Structure 1
Amino acid sequence: MSTRFDYYKACPEATETMLKLEEFVKSNGLDAKLYELIKLRSSQINGCSYCIDSHTRDLKKLGETDQRLYLLSVWREVPFYTEKECAVLALTEAVTLIADAGVPDEVYEQVRKEFDERQFMVLLMAINTINSWNRIGIATRLLPSRK
Structure 2
Amino acid sequence: MEQISYTDVPEGMFENLRIIEDSIDNSPLDNKLLELIKLRVSQKNGCAYCLDMHYKELKHAGETELRLSSLCVWEETPYFSNKERVVLKFAETLTKINSAPIPKEDYTPLLSHFNKKEICYLTLAITQINTWNRLMKVFQFTPGNYKIEH
Same fold (TM over 0.5): yes
Q: 1:36 to 1:144 in 2, by over 3 A?
A: same
* Corresponding residue number in structure 2 for 1:103: 102
Give yes or no for contact 1:94–1:101 (8 Å, CA) kept in 2: no
Letter in 1 for 2:71: L
* Corresponding residue number in structure 2 for 1:81: 80
Q: 1:63 to 1:87 in 2, by over 3 A?
A: same
Give yes or no for contact 2:4–2:138 (8 Å, CA) kept in 1: no
| Unaligned stretches of 5+ residues in structure 1 | none
Number of residue pairs aligned between Structure 1 and Structure 2: 146
Deviation, 1:12, is: 2.5
Q: What secondary structure sits across from 1:99 in the alignment? A: coil
* Corresponding residue number in structure 1 for 2:62: 63
* Corresponding residue number in structure 2 for 1:33: 32
Give yes or no for contact 1:92–1:127 (8 Å, CA) kept in 2: yes
Letter in 2 for 1:105: K
Structure with bigger helix share is 1
For residues 78 and 100 of structure 1, the distance between their equivalents in structure 2, rounded to whole angstroms, comes to 31
For residues 7 and 102 of structure 1, the distance between their equivalents in structure 2, rounded to whole angstroms, comes to 36
Identity of aligned residues (%): 38
For residues 50 and 5 of structure 2, the distance between their equivalents in structure 1, rounded to whole angstroms, comes to 15
For residues 135 and 16 of structure 2, the distance between their equivalents in structure 1, rounded to whole angstroms, comes to 13
Moved more, 98-107 or 83-92: 98-107
For residues 19 and 8 of structure 1, the distance between their equivalents in structure 2, rounded to whole angstroms, comes to 17
* Corresponding residue number in structure 2 for 1:117: 116
Cα RMSD (Å) of the superposition?
A: 1.6
TM-score (norm 1): 0.93
For residues 132 and 30 of structure 1, the distance between their equivalents in structure 2, rounded to whole angstroms, comes to 20
* Deviations, residues 69-108 of structure 1 (Å, cap 9, x unaligned): 0110111111110111111101100000112864211111
For residues 69 and 145 of structure 1, the distance between their equivalents in structure 2, rounded to whole angstroms, comes to 17
Letter in 2 for 1:85: E
